[in-house]
Amino acid sequence: MKPGTDSAYALSVFHIYRKRQETYMHSRGSGMKGKNHVYMVWFYLFLGSFFLGVFLMNMGNETLLTKEGIFSAASVSRLKYIEIDNGRFLRYVLRHRMGEGIGLILLSTTGIGLTAVYVWVIWQGLLAGMTITAAIIRFGMKGLLLLLGSLFPHQLLIIPAQVMLLGWCYENISRGQRLGGYQASFYAGKKQQFLRQGISLLWILIVILIGCILESYVNPMLLSDLAKIF
């Protein structure tokens, strides 16, 4: 090529590169704003379903709170002396926690992934509202103390990990909906994107695993000691 042609070619390549970078940065900024908006929607959705759970439990406490049900005197009394097979309990907790997470991950690859995420948020809000209300109806403020003890320390890891997993699923759903052309969302390049998503998912699952271990080996001892004040 002639010097003038070389310069024109270099400028055109630089122009294309700059446009792609601008597209990437704009897409990334829009994606982060959209993701933050989704987090707020999830928060309000959780809050609304939480208060719905409180309402339902207050309206139907005579039906829902049986003598052998949640936070009953008999169940709390058993906590004082129960001996737990920690290994078996860990397997149960892993099936529950990991199964739930893997289910969301798999659903995020389908057309109903976003619906599944919203349903999960609503369900968690309902459960939280009903459980807290049941504890207070049964034992007053001591019931709230018992409930907090049942969440410590594992939920300090599991709750943030679940929120991160929801974000991961949302990103995976959004990526699956983008079609054709140069589409950069949070990471540049498909290989790098898959790698970072994989590392992010692995980190989330490790945190959930640590939370499950704490739930199986540490929480039962704390809960047993706490139940003795009732």
Q: Render pLDDT for 88-147 as a digit per residue (tens, 0 to 9).
A: 999 999 999 999 999 999 999 888 999 999 999 999 999 999 999 988 888 888 888 888
In this predicted structure, the answer to whether residue 47 has a pLDDT above a threshold of 70 is yes
Each residue's pLDDT tens digit, 13-27: 334 445 544 444 444
Which pTM does this prediction carry?
A: 0.76
Higher model confidence: residue 77 or residue 226? 226
What pLDDT sits at residue 34? 66
What pLDDT sits at residue 124? 95
Residue 204 contacts residue 161 (beta carbons within 8 Å) = yes
CA dist., res. 175 & res. 168, Å (int)? 10
What HEC string does the chain produce? CCHHHHHHHHHHHHHHHHHHHHHHHHHHHHHHHHHHHHHHHHHHHHHHHHHHHHHHHHHCHHHHCCCCCCCCHHHHHHHHHCCCCHHHHHHHHHHHHHHHHHHHHHHCCCCCHHHHHHHHHHHHHHHHHHHHHHHHHHHCHHHHHHHHHHHCCCHHHHHHHHHHHHHHHHHHHHHHHCCCCCCCCCCCCHHHHHHHHHHHHHHHHHHHHHHHHHHHHCHHHHHHHHHCCC
Tokens 């004082």, residue located: 80
Average of per-residue pLDDT across 56-78: 73
What pLDDT sits at residue 43? 94
In this predicted structure, the answer to whether residue 201 has a pLDDT above a threshold of 70 is yes
Nearest CA among 25, 158, 112 for reference residue 150: 158
In this predicted structure, the answer to whether residue 178 has a pLDDT above a threshold of 70 is no
Q: Establish how many alpha carbons lie within 13 A of residue 207's alpha carbon, considering only the half-sphere containing its beta carbon.
A: 18
In this predicted structure, the answer to whether residue 189 has a pLDDT above a threshold of 80 is no
Confidence of residue 205 (pLDDT cuts 50, 70, 90): very high
What pLDDT sits at residue 68? 65
In this predicted structure, the answer to whether residue 63 has a pLDDT above a threshold of 70 is no
What pLDDT sits at residue 80? 76
Show me where the domains of the chain are located: 42-227
Q: CA torsion 152→58→41→101, rounded to 10°?
A: 50
AA identity, residue 173 = I
> Of all residues in the chain, what percent carry a pLDDT higher than 90?
42
Angle between helices 155-177 and 3-59 (to 10 degrees): 130
55: Cβ contacts below 8 Å, ≥ 6 apart:
129
Average of per-residue pLDDT across 29-50: 82
CA dist., res. 210 & res. 117, Å (int)? 23
For the chain, the residue count is: 230
Per-chain mean pLDDT for the chain:
79
Confidence of residue 179 (pLDDT cuts 50, 70, 90): very low
Phi, then psi, of 185 in degrees rounded to 5: -105, -90
